[in-house]
Amino acid sequence: MKFFIDTANLKDIKDANDLGILDGVTTNPSLMAKEGITGVANIIAHYIKICELVDGDVSAEVISTDFEGMIAEGEKLAALHPQIVVKIPMIKDGIKAIKYFSNKGIRTNCTLIFSAGQALLAAKAGATYVSPFIGRLDDISTDGLALIEEIRLIYDNYGYETQILAASVRHVMHILNCAKIGADVITGPLSAIEGLMKHPLTDSGLATFLADYQKGNN
Ligand code: E4P
In tens digits, the chain (218 residues) has pLDDT values of 999 999 999 999 999 999 999 999 999 999 999 999 999 999 999 999 999 999 999 999 999 999 999 999 999 999 999 999 999 999 999 999 999 999 999 999 999 999 999 999 999 999 999 999 999 999 999 999 999 999 999 999 999 999 999 999 999 999 999 999 999 999 999 999 999 999 999 999 999 999 999 998 98
Helices (H), the chain: 10-18, 29-34, 40-53, 67-80, 92-104, 116-125, 134-139, 144-158, 172-181, 190-195, 200-216
What is the maximal distance between C-alpha atoms in the chain? 73
> Do the beta carbons of residue 185 and residue 151 sit within 8 Å?
no
Q: Whose CA is nearest to atom 8 of ligand 1?
A: 168
For the Cβ of 26 lying below 6 angstroms from any atom of ligand 1, the answer is yes
Residue type, 42: N
- Cα 145 to Cα 125: distance, rounded to the nearest angstrom: 23
Dihedral sign, Cα of residue 80, residue 112, residue 12, residue 33: positive
Q: Is 167 helix (H, G, I), strand (E, B) or coil?
A: strand
For the Cβ of 167 lying below 6 angstroms from any atom of ligand 1, the answer is yes
Q: Distance, CA 148 to ligand 1 centroid (Å)? A: 15
Q: Whose CA is nearest to atom 7 of ligand 1?
A: 168
Q: Is 209 helix (H, G, I), strand (E, B) or coil?
A: helix
Q: What 8-state DSSP symbol labels residue 133? A: B
Domain boundaries in the chain?
A: 2-190
Catalytic residue among 11, 87, 92, 124: 87
- Cα 150 to Cα 214: distance, rounded to the nearest angstrom: 53
For the Cβ of 131 lying below 6 angstroms from any atom of ligand 1, the answer is yes
For the Cβ of 135 lying below 6 angstroms from any atom of ligand 1, the answer is yes
Q: Distance, CA 106 to ligand 1 centroid (Å)? A: 22
76 is catalytic: no
Which of 129, 133, 190 has most ligand 1 atoms within 8 Å of its beta carbon, as the pocket-test mutant? 133
Cα→Cα distances 207→156, 162, 211, 217, 218, Å? 46, 45, 6, 15, 17
Could you tell me the CATH superfamily of domain 2-190?
A: Aldolase class I (3.20.20.70)
